[in-house]
Amino acid sequence: MPTNAGNLEVVHYPDPVLRKKAKPVAGVTDEIRALAERMVQLMYDEEGIGLAAPQVGVSLRLFVAHVPEGDGRSATAEPPTASAGPEVYINPVIAQPEGALEPFEEGCLSLPDIRGSVMRPPVVTITAMGLDGRTFTRRGAGLLARCWQHELDHLDGVLIIDKLSQMERLKLRKKIRALEG
Ligand code: NI
Which pLDDT tens digit goes with each residue over 99-158?
999 999 999 999 999 999 999 999 999 999 999 999 999 999 999 999 999 999 999 999
Task: Provide the residue range defining the domain that includes 58.
Answer: 5-180
- Kindly state the greatest CA–CA separation across the chain: 45
Q: What's the CA-to-centroid distance between 14 and ligand 1, angstroms?
A: 13
CA of 134 relative to ligand 1 center, distance in Å: 25
- Give how many domains the chain has, as a whole number: 1
CA of 110 to the centre of ligand 1 (A): 6
Ligand 1 centroid, distance to 107 Cα (angstroms): 7
pLDDT mean over 59-73: 96
Clarify whether 69 is annotated catalytic.
no
pLDDT of residue 2: 57
Tell me the average pLDDT of the chain. 96
Of 87, 106, 151, 168, which one is the catalytic site residue?
A: 151
What is the per-residue pLDDT across 4-17, written as a single tens digit (0 to 9) for each?
A: 888 999 999 999 99
Q: What's the CATH code of the domain at 79?
A: 3.90.45.10
